[in-house]
Amino acid sequence: MNTMTNRIRGVLAPVVTPFDRQGAIRTKLFVEQCQWLQDRNISLAVFGTNSEANSLSADEKLGLLDSLVEAGIDMSRVMPGTGACDLPTAVRLSRKAVEAGCAGVLTLPPFFYKSVSDDGLFNFFARLIEQVADSRLKIYLYHIPPVAQVGFSLALIERLLKAYPGSIAGMKDSSGDWNGTQAILKEFSAAGFDVFAGNEIFLLDTMRNGGAGCISATANTNADAIHHLYQRWREPGAEALQQHLNEIRGIFQAYPMIPALKSALHHWSGEDDWKQVRAPLVELTSQQNRELIERLKLFGFSIPALNGERRENRDW
């Protein structure tokens, strides 16, 4: 899976993490969501931002990776988030991902210290690569400066690629700045640096500029439509497909994204634990729940059956 010609591409979901009322992970429900996504041609960016990754412990993430392997999930279509502010945790998670057969790792920069120099960030990733010490390691840089406040400059990307061309595989660009994304694509995509848009709003433009796909929160709920555009981005009518995705995305973005995704999953599955988020996040209010679902229904949106068991839940 990790050669230049068969690296992971397409649409990935930062898989939402289900919790019970006591805050424990619902592992079975998590695995079912992962299987549902893979069955719909969506690959898995587990432990992403919308997975509440930074509310999960390292041990919890390691345990979930084991559960995915045991359940028979195709790990060549999994790109777990392994970023951490401390290097030992990033090494531990990245090594586990490689051993599990994952396609790559999606790695945040160490984000606690602000105004870190490119030299400091280079040293972090150099030591990560050297300490994992496995040629199978494929790192996808997670560029999300609106949240992390630490990002990757063009000069830093170039330096990492020159020093570690076998390990630095690409980037998820969640900057929200298309001009910046376009510059990264122009500079590095021809060299085999795979750029994924940080959401589906930029999917069509990313593909037209040599990108690899998108990693999008709403792929958890709008899987078929996003994959449909990925398959047909070269065809007439792609702009209309993109506009449809943008409108659905806009409905979800009108609310806090993580609880909104979980509200939709709860509504169309009838599974109460999908509503739960971990502190410090909070659920949508009852009014927000109603508004979200009503707006989605008016747009003709629904979520197809999960393993034949999703059902409409009208009780709030």
- pLDDT band for position 6 (cuts 50, 70, 90): confident
> Do residues 214 and 258 lie in contact, with contact meaning Cβ atoms separated by under 8 Å?
no
Question: Is the Cβ–Cβ distance between 35 and 252 less than 8 Å?
Answer: no
Match 């599990």 to its residue by tokens: 100
Of 2-6, 83-87, 298-302, the poorest mean pLDDT is in 2-6
pLDDT at residue 4, rounded to an integer = 52
Q: What is the pLDDT of residue 170?
A: 98
**Domain boundaries of the chain, sorted by first residue:** 10-236
- Write the CB contacts of 186 (distance below 8 Å, at least 6 apart in sequence): 209
Q: In what order do the strands lie in the sheet with 10-13?
A: 43-44, 10-13, 213-215, 194-197, 168-173, 139-143, 105-107
C-alpha 289: how far from its chain's center?
24
Residue 112 confidence (pLDDT): 94
Residue with tokens 């591409």: 9
Tell me if 313 sits within 8 A of 270, measured CB to CB: yes
Give the pLDDT mean for 181-189. 95
Angstrom distance (rounded) from CA 193 to CA 185: 8
Q: For residue 5, what pLDDT is reported? A: 53
Q: What is the 3-state secondary structure (H, E, C) of the chain?
A: CCCCCCCCCEEEECCCCCECCCCCECHHHHHHHHHHHHHCCCEECCCCHHHCHHHCCHHHHHHHHHHHHHCCCCHHHECCECCCCCHHHHHHHHHHHHHCCCCCEEECCCCCCCCCCHHHHHHHHHHHHHHHCCCCCCEEEEECHHHHCCCCCHHHHHHHHHHCCCCEEEEEECCCCHHHHHHHHHHHHHHCCEEEECCHHHHHHHHHCCCCEEECHHHHCCHHHHHHHHHHCCCCCHHHHHHHHHHHHHHHHCCCHHHHHHHHHHHHHCCHHHHCCCCCCCCCCHHHHHHHHHHHHHCCCCCCCCCCCCCCCCCC
pLDDT at 204 over 50: yes
What is the CB neighbour count within 10 angstroms for residue 188?
A: 20
Task: Give mean pLDDT, residues 183-188.
Answer: 96
**What is the Cα–Cα distance from 283 to 277, expressed in whole angstroms?**
6
Question: Rounded CA gap, 64 and 47, in Å?
Answer: 10
257 phi-psi bin (left φ>0, alpha ψ -120 to 50, beta other) = alpha
Reported as a single tens digit per residue, the pLDDT across 43-100 is 999 999 999 999 999 999 999 999 999 999 999 999 999 999 999 999 999 999 999 9
Question: What's the Cα-to-Cα distance from 268 to each of 79, 143, 168, 262, rounded to whole Å?
Answer: 26, 32, 39, 10
Q: Homologous superfamily of 10-236 in CATH?
A: Aldolase class I (3.20.20.70)
Q: Look up residue 192 and give its two tokens.
A: 């085999």
pLDDT digits (tens, 9 = 90+) for 217-270: 999 999 999 999 999 999 999 999 999 999 999 999 999 999 999 999 999 999
Q: Which pTM was predicted?
A: 0.94
Higher pLDDT, 3 or 46: 46
Q: Which one is predicted more confidently, 216 or 5?
A: 216
The sign of the dihedral angle between the CA atoms of 268, 273, 274, 280 is positive
Would you state the pLDDT for residue 304? Answer: 87
